[in-house]
Amino acid sequence: MANITKLKHLEHLEDEMLNYGVEGCEAAVGFLQELRKMLGCDDSTGFMQTKWDGAPSVVCGKDPANGLFFVGTKSVFNKTEPKICYTESDVDKFGYKDDLAEKLKMSLKYFRNVGIDGVIQGDLMYTKSTVKTETIHEEKLYTFRPNTITYGIPVDHEIGKKIKASQIGVVFHTHYTGEQKGYDLSTMSAKAGANTKFKENSDVVVINNDTPMHKVGLNHQEEMKFDAMVKSIETNCKKCGDFLDQLVLFSGTKGDEKYHVASYVKPFFNSEIKAARTLGDTSKTFANLYNFYYDKTKALVDKIKTPATKAQKSKLIHHSQNYLRDNEDKFKAMINLYKELQEIKQFVIDKLDHLETFKTFALTDNGYKITGPEGYVLHKDGDMIKFVNRLEFAFLNFTLAKKWR
């Protein structure tokens, strides 16, 4: 469902039913069916990429308007006043400062030498000054922490040796194309993959983000489990379809819609993840949703000064509370469907996490804790969806101090 012109935000598999109702739920099933082909080594047009927790995100390449090499942030796509940096003085001119300015200048200096002909986007993983040599769990590693996750590679590994000798490392994951005559950066569209044959350059390590799906195998028992889970999701999607569409119809951020419970379902699930709470007992989760809605809307009403407006909004909340109670069974069915999508997503993540060459850690008060990669992105027919262990990575993202600012 996430078919986007500029790569700015990807959605989670389980959230598509909240975003698009039954259409989103059917799209999630379609992604899972395509993934089943990939896991079963059947012919598939889909592919998987590993998400890397890099920062900042850099856009670079040759400007189609003049053929000059440039770098920048996503601001290069601005329709008015795009911030396109052709020189180091441009980086200063646009007001970039400190760490970001330094990384953009290094990107400008080194990325022009790796054979980029078009326009691509990637996440910076390290510069030479940020690479450390550390012994973690009795293994000597080169480490770097661009954002939340710390990445490590053994010092005697081929990639580790290249990192030690390099100036900068990056994961390129997206390329941009223009289809209209005289196109410029602001009209280009994002497509998955860097689509570039990079030149070898000792100063730059371009880290491959293709997930090695050929190394994943399902035994017969796992195949049966996966198929049963997809079938159950498909069945429950049909059962919940009309209600899911109703929630999408009633939700919004303005006017009376802002006071309908439908507008608080997705924020509620996000709040549970932020608090590292799993969706366990459905009745308890429903009660938590009811309380979450009440607390949030009460806070809104308490800010209203006009008595007439306060009474009118309070009436909307009362109606929405009745809607919750009258549709309790439908809300519980929706919660169970959401849980099913989370469970099958985690089943997939567990099969993929052990494939990665780099080791991943979270730096806690008690030292390094082994963690999984940030997640994965599944591509299918130009659409993309992400598979992230939200209870692990999102919790770390919310609670650990970020390296990048």
Tokens of 382: 């130009």
Three-state SS across the chain? CECCCCCCCCCEHHHHHHHHCHHHHHHHHHHHHHHHHHHCCCCCCCEEEEECCCCCEEEEEECCCCCCEEEECHHHHCCCCCCCECCHHHHHHCCCCHHHHHHHHHHHHHHCCCCCCCEEEEEEEEEHHHCEEEEECCEEEEEECCCCCEEEEECCCHHHHHHHHCCEEEEEEEEEECCCCCCCHHHCEEEECCCCCCCCCCCEEECCCECCHHHCCCCHHHHHHHHHHHHHHHHHHHHHHHHHHHHHHHCCCCHHHHHCHHHHHHHHHHHHHHCCCCCCCHHHHHHHHHHHHHHHHHHHHHCCCCHHHHHHHHHHHHHHHHHHHHCHHHHHHHHHHHHHHHHHHHHHHHHHHHHCCCEEEEEECCEEEECCCCEEEEEECCEEEEECCHHHHHHHHHHCCCCCC
pLDDT band, very low/low/confident/very high, at 397 (cuts 50, 70, 90):
low
Range with top average pLDDT, 255-264, 347-356, 384-393: 255-264
Encode pLDDT of 220-269 as tens digits. 999 999 999 999 999 999 999 999 999 999 999 999 999 999 999 999 99
Read off the amino acid at residue 230: V
CA angle 230, 234, 236 (to 5 degrees): 115
User: How are beta strands 57-62 and 375-380 bridged, if at all?
Assistant: unpaired
Encode pLDDT of 89-119 as tens digits. 999 999 999 999 999 999 999 999 999 989 9
Angle between helices 220-250 and 328-352 (to 10 degrees): 140
Full-model pTM: 0.86
Contact 396, 368 (CB under 8 A): no
Q: Average pLDDT over the chain, rounded to whole?
A: 91
Encode pLDDT of 204-213 as tens digits. 999 999 998 8
Q: Does the pLDDT at position 2 exceed 70?
A: no
Per-residue model confidence (pLDDT) at position 184: 85
